[in-house]
Chains A and B, each alone.
Chain A
Amino acid sequence: MAGSFEELKFRDPARARALTDALQREVDLIGRKPVSVMHVCGSHEQAIARFGLRAAFPRELDVIMGPGCPVCVTDTPEVDEAVALAAQGARVCTYGDMLRLPGTSRSLADAQADGGKVEVIYSVVQAVELAQKHPAEQVVFFASGFETTAVATAAVVLAGVPENFSILSSHKYVPAAMDVVAEMKETSIEGFIAAGHAAAITGWGIFEPFAARTHRPVVVAGFEPLDVLAAVLELTRLIRLGRAEVVNCYPRCVSRDGNRPALDKLWKVFDVVGGVWRGIAMVPRGNLDLKPEWDRLNARRRFRIDTAAVGGSDRNLLAEQCICGTIMTGLAKPSDCALFGKECRPETPVGACMVSSEGSCKIWHVYGGHPDLRGAA
C-alpha cells in the first residue's frame, strides 16, 4: 500500500503538460477569444482550483463553474421551511453543508443555537435511525443533493420508514443546471462538461437531447486533474469541429444507460417538478419532489409550515448585494463580488456559494481567492 498514492497517474505532471499543450493547439485553431466552456459540478471546480489548473489553461480559454452545487441553489424559502419546522418542534436532520445555508433571516445553525433539534447526518439511514430512536417526535429529513443523493433517499423510502419520519425535499435535477445556462440569452458558453458521478446514475445518453437542442457539445468527465484536462481538451476539439455531440471521457465509471436499478428506484419515488433556484430563476424541471403517492411522507403535506414566524418575510440588505446567482450562471466570477472574502467568508457566509464545499465562492476562497495566475512569476 505504501507509496501507491504517489504513483497515481491521474495526477502525473508530464501527462498534464502534454494535455495542456494539446489544449493550447486546439484553442489556437479555433482562433477566437475567449472560448468559454462550463462545468456544472463543485468537485470539478475543486480539482481545477486545488491543482491550480487555471494557470495551465490557455489564456484564451475560460473554464467557468455553472450552477453545479445543489446546496447553493437551494432557495431561501426552502431553508425557511426547515427552520420553521425546527421552531415548531420537529427534529430536523440534514447534511452538514445545509446547516449554515442562510434562510431569509435565519439558518438551521441559528435554529440549533435557539434550542431547536437540528441534527447533522452523514446518510439518510441515520435520519431513519433517529426516527426509530425518538418515536414520540416528528423527524424530518431535509433532503438535499442531485439525483446521485436522491437515489439514496428513494431507496430508504422504498425500504419502509417509521410513521414519524417525513421528507422535506430540496433535491435538484442535474440536466436542469445546463438547461438554465444554455437558455440564457446573454450566455457565451459554447460547450459543457457534465459531472461523472451524476452521469454514472443517469447514463451519458441523457445529454443527447440537450446537445441536439442547444447545438452544444457535452463531455462527461471524472474528477482527477487529468480527467478534467482530457475532458476540456475533447470539448474544445468538438467546439472547433462544430460538432454538438456527447462524448464520454469517464468510461471507467459511466455507461450510456447508467445505473438502471438506481434509476428505477429514483422514479418510483420522485417526480421532476419546477422550482426556484436561489439567485437564478424559476427552473421548469429543476427540482425533485416526492410523487403524490408518497404524500404521507412529504413534510410539506404533513405539516402546516409557518415560515413567516421565522422571519421568512423580512428583508436582508447584505444578502441583496450577493451575486451568487450571476456567478452560478457564469456571468461573473466570485472575485467580482464586493462581499467576497470580506463580509462573506466561510465562517460568516452571506451567499449560499460560500457555504458548501461544492460552492464556487467557498472553493475559490479555500484555494487562495485569486486563482488566475496565468503568466505570473
Chain B
Amino acid sequence: MASDKVGMKHGAGGRAMRSLIEDVFLQLATPVDGIGLSALDDGAAIRLGDRWLVVTTDSHVVHPIFFPGGDIGRLSVCGTVNDLAMMGATEPLALTCAVIIEEGFARADLERIRDSILAASREAGAPIVTGDTKVMGRGELDGIILNTAGVALADRVVSDAGLRAGDRIILTGTVGDHGMAVMMKRHDLGLQGDLRSDVAPLNGLVREALRAGGGDVVAMKDPTRGGLASVLHEMADKGKVGIVLDETAVPVSPEVRAACEVLGIDPLVVANEGKAVIGVRPGAADRVLAALRSHALGRRAAIVGTAIAERPGQVILDTGLGRRMLAEPEGEPLPRIC
C-alpha cells in the first residue's frame, strides 16, 4: 500500500510520517552505546565516560514565517533546545544554525529573523557557535529554511519509552496555541481573539521538573506536530502500556477552544512549541507538578492521564461524558469545509 511518492502528510508528524521514517531512514541506524537512530527519540545520547553527549537536529519550514507569538527564528532555536531538554539535557552547550534562502528574500526580514534567533538563544542560554548560508534560485524553495543542531552533556538521559502501568502523565500547560495561531494566519481565517503561539525554550522548565522528580521522571516528549494525541500514542507504543487521557483535565485556552470548535479541529492533534508531556512515577507526580507550576512556563501544568497495563500502545480518551479510543493523527489537521 506504500505510495511511490512522498506527500505532505509524510511530514506532518502523524502515523504517515512515522511509517515513512521506519520504511526509508531506519536503514541508516547502526548500534551505538546509548540512544541512537533506531530509538526514533527526540535526539541521540552517546556515552562519554560517566556522562552522556546528547545531540539533536531540526529543520524548520513554517508559513507564515512571522506569526503571532513568534517567527521561524525563535522556532528553530526552541525546537532544538526543546529536543535536547526532552532527553534530559537542560544545559545546552552550543547550537549550530544553517540557513537556506530563496533569491529575492527581503534582507530586512532576514535581519528580523536573526534578531529573533539571538533573543531566543540568550533566553535558553544556548549560544550559536557555527553556521552555514546558502542561497537558491527563485522558486527553488519557498522563502527560507532554517536548520539548527544542538549538543549538551547530561548526567542522566530520559527517553520517551520509560512509562509503566500506574505512571502519571503531566502536561506542562495549554495545548493547541501554536498550531491554531499559525493556522489562523496561514488561512487568513479572520476569527478574532488573542491566538498566540506558545513557542518557548523549555530547558528551564524541564530543569525544575528533573530537580523535583529526579529518577522518577521516566519519559518526556514535546507535543509538536501531531499534538498531544500523537505524543501519547508514541509513549504508549514505546512503553508498551495503555494510556487513559482525562480530556476534562487537559488545559485549553478559551480562544483555542472556540477556534477549534468553529473549524471542527480537535485541540489534541494541534501542534505546540512550548509544552512538554512528562511521565512520572505515581509517588512523584504531585512534587513534579508543584515544581512545574512554580515556573513561569508551567503555571497551567496539570496531571492529565495515567498509564495502564491494558491495551498496550493505545490511548483511551475519557471525555467526562463517556469514553472512546483516541485515534493517532494521520497528518496535519485541516479546517472543516462544511
Contacts and interface: CB of A to CB of B under 8 A. Distances in A.
Contacts of B320: 11, 13, 16
Interface stretch (A212-220, A291-299, A369-377): A369-377
Contact of B308 (A5, A357, A377): A377
A6 B258 CA distance: 10
B287 interface: no
Q: How large is the interface on B (under 10, 10 to 19, 20 to 34, 35 or more residues)?
A: 20 to 34
Contacts of A334: none
B321 A5 contact: no
A97 interface: yes
Interface stretch (B17-25, B201-209, B310-318): B310-318
B186 interface: no
B302 to A, nearest CB: 14
A97 B310 CA distance: 37
Contacts of A50: 319, 324
Contacts of A373: 316, 322-325
A5 B338 contact: no
B337 interface: yes
A53 B327 contact: no
A53 B321 contact: yes
Contact of A95 (B193, B244, B254, B337): B337
Interface string B21-33: 0000000000000
Contacts of A365: 327
Contacts of B336: 357
A50 B316 CA distance: 12
Nearest to A4: B254
Nearest to A47: B321
A52 B258 contact: no
Contacts, number: 92
Interface in A1-19: 1-6, 11, 13, 16
Contact of A52 (B9, B310, B311, B322): B322
A368 interface: yes
Given A95-B338, A97-B337, A347-B330, A367 B321 contact: no
Contacts of B255: 2
B310 A377 contact: yes
A2 B253 CA distance: 9
Contacts of B257: 5-6
Contact of A367 (B242, B318, B325, B330): B325
A18 to B, nearest CB: 12
B142 interface: no
B294 interface: no
B326 interface: yes
Contact of B338 (A13, A96, A367): A96
Contacts of B330: 345-347
B258 A367 contact: no
Contacts of B318: 52
A232 B331 CA distance: 35
B325 A51 contact: no
Nearest to A346: B330
Nearest to A348: B1
A371 B337 contact: no
B323 A376 contact: yes
Contacts of B258: 5
Contacts of A283: none
Interface in B256-279: 257-258, 261, 264
A49 interface: yes
A345 B1 CA distance: 12
Contacts of A97: 337-338
B213 to A, nearest CB: 26
B248 interface: yes
Contacts of A49: 324
A117 to B, nearest CB: 19
Contact of B324 (A347, A357, A367): A367
A97 B257 CA distance: 24
A373 B314 CA distance: 13
Given A52-B318, A96-B338, A3 B254 contact: yes
A256 interface: no
Contacts of A122: 337-338
B338 A51 contact: no
Residue of B242, B316, B323, B330 with most chain A CB atoms under a 10 A cut-off: B323
B293 to A, nearest CB: 20
Contacts of B9: 347
Residue of A122, A369, A376 with most chain B CB atoms under a 10 A cut-off: A376
28 contacts: A5-B254, A5-B258, A6-B257, A13-B320, A49-B324, A51-B322, A52-B321, A52-B323, A52-B324, A53-B321, A53-B322, A54-B322, A55-B322, A56-B321, A95-B338, A96-B337, A97-B337, A346-B330, A347-B9, A357-B338, A369-B327, A370-B325, A371-B325, A373-B316, A373-B322, A373-B323, A376-B310, A377-B316
Interface of A: 1-6, 11, 13, 16, 49-56, 95-97, 120, 122, 225, 343, 345-347, 357, 365-371, 373, 376-377
Given A4-B254, A13-B321, A377-B242, 6 more contacts: A13-B248, A50-B319, A52-B323, A95-B337, A366-B327, A373-B322
